[in-house]
């Protein structure tokens, strides 16, 4: 393999690492690490979950929203795979499937909620991790389990 091929493989690995770091840091509630994964401005789209239209957000706004929205949960677990990455010099697109498990002990015994869907990212070269996410979109396929996990006392 030539130098360009090795560089392309390394870039792809770095891009997947940034996305993986985002999911793991979210699960660990390491909001500083979450913020490092993002560019200074992010086109943020979770409209498939009813979160309003896509909007430009800062890493601080995203992390604060997740910290608040996930605060009632005892555990969070993201699992991602089927990565597809295309690199265009200092910009890349990445897509993957994702499953997010939420857990909270409830009176009803319905303790989990599972989100299944896919993610679409645009990343820009730069930052401490080598690449940073400038566009984040989650496309929900379905939700299973207790949809009112936080309200189920």
| Residue 81 belongs to some domain of the structure | yes
Q: Which of 90, 25, 101 is nearest to 63 (CA)?
A: 25
Number of separate domains in the chain? 1
User: When comparing pLDDT for 46 and 148, which is higher?
Assistant: 46
Q: Read off the pLDDT of residues 30-69 as tens digits, 9 standing for 90 and up.
A: 999 999 999 999 999 999 999 899 999 999 999 999 999 9
Domain of 40, CATH number, reads 3.10.450.50
Give the global pTM: 0.94
| Residue 64 belongs to some domain of the structure | yes
Domain span including residue 111: 3-145
C-alpha separations of 56 from 42, 115, 129, 131, 134 in Å: 5, 23, 21, 18, 9
| Residue 51 belongs to some domain of the structure | yes
Q: 58 and 41 in contact (C-beta within 8 Å)?
A: yes
């Amino acid at each position: 393999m030539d130098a360009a091929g090795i560089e392309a493989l390394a870039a792809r690995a770095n891009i997947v690492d940034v996305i993986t770091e985002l999911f793991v840091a979210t699960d660990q509630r390491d909001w500083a690490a979450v913020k490092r994964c993002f560019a200074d401005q992010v086109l943020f789209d979770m409209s498939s979950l009813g979160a309003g239209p896509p909007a430009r957000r800062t890493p601080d706004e995203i992390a604060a929203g997740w910290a608040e929205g996930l605060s009632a949960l005892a555990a969070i677990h993201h699992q991602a795979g089927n990565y597809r990455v295309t690199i265009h010099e200092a910009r890349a697109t990445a897509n993957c499937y994702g499953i997010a498990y939420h857990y909270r002990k409830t009176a009803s015994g319905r303790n989990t909620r599972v989100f299944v869907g896919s993610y679409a990212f645009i990343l820009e070269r730069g930052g401490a991790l080598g690449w940073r996410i400038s566009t984040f979109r989650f496309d929900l396929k379905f939700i299973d389990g207790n949809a009112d996990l936080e309200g189920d006392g």
